[in-house]
Structure 1
Amino acid sequence: MSEPEKLVTIGRITSVYGVRGWVKIHSFTEPMENILAFSPWWLRGSKGWEKVEIAEGRRHGKGLIARIEGVDDRDVAQEQYCQRDIAVESSQMPALQEGEFYWHQLEGLEVVSDFEGKQYQLGKVVRIMETGANDVLVVRGGSDGIESRERLVPYVPGEFVTSIDLELGRVTVNWDPEF
Structure 2
Amino acid sequence: MSETERRVLLGRIVGAFGVRGELKLESFTEPKAAIFRYQPWTLRDAQGRERALQGARGRETPKGVVMTLPEVADRDVAEALRGTEVWVPRSALPPPKDGEYYWIDLEGLRVVNADGIEFGRVSHLFSTGANDVLVVQGERERMIPFLMPDYVVSIDFDAGLVVVDWDPDF
The aligned counterpart of 1:23 is: 23
Alpha carbons of structure 1 residues 53 and 153: separation in structure 2 relative to 1, 3 Å:
same
1:33-71 CA-to-partner distances (Å, cap 9, x unmatched) read 211222221112336431112442111224212111121
1:159 maps to 2:150: yes
Shift in Å, 1:173: 0.6
Aligned CA RMSD, in angstroms, stands at: 2.3
The aligned counterpart of 1:127 is: 124
The aligned counterpart of 1:52 is: 53
The aligned counterpart of 1:174 is: 165
TM-score (norm 2): 0.83
2:33/2:58 contact within 8 Å kept = no
- How many percent of aligned residue pairs carry the same amino acid? 42
1:137 maps to 2:128: no
TM-score (norm 1): 0.79
Give me the whole-angstrom Cα distance separating, in 2, the residues matched to 1:138 and 1:160. 13
User: Secondary structure in 2 aligned to 1:119?
Assistant: coil
Shift in Å, 1:10: 1.1
Give me the whole-angstrom Cα distance separating, in 2, the residues matched to 1:28 and 1:97. 17
1:54-108 CA-to-partner distances (Å, cap 9, x unmatched) read 44211122421211112112222222x2212111122221122344321111123
Unaligned runs of 5+ in 2: none
Give me the whole-angstrom Cα distance separating, in 1, the residues matched to 2:151 and 2:2. 39
User: Secondary structure in 2 aligned to 1:70?
Assistant: coil
2:36/2:56 contact within 8 Å kept = no
Give me the whole-angstrom Cα distance separating, in 1, the residues matched to 2:63 and 2:79. 21
Runs of 4+ in 1 over 6 A off after TM superposition: none
Give me the whole-angstrom Cα distance separating, in 2, the residues matched to 1:153 and 1:47. 31
Q: 1:82-97 maps to which residues of 2 (within 5 A)?
A: 82-97=82-97
Unaligned runs of 5+ in 1: none
Alpha carbons of structure 1 residues 76 and 30: separation in structure 2 relative to 1, 3 Å:
same
Alpha carbons of structure 1 residues 55 and 119: separation in structure 2 relative to 1, 3 Å:
closer
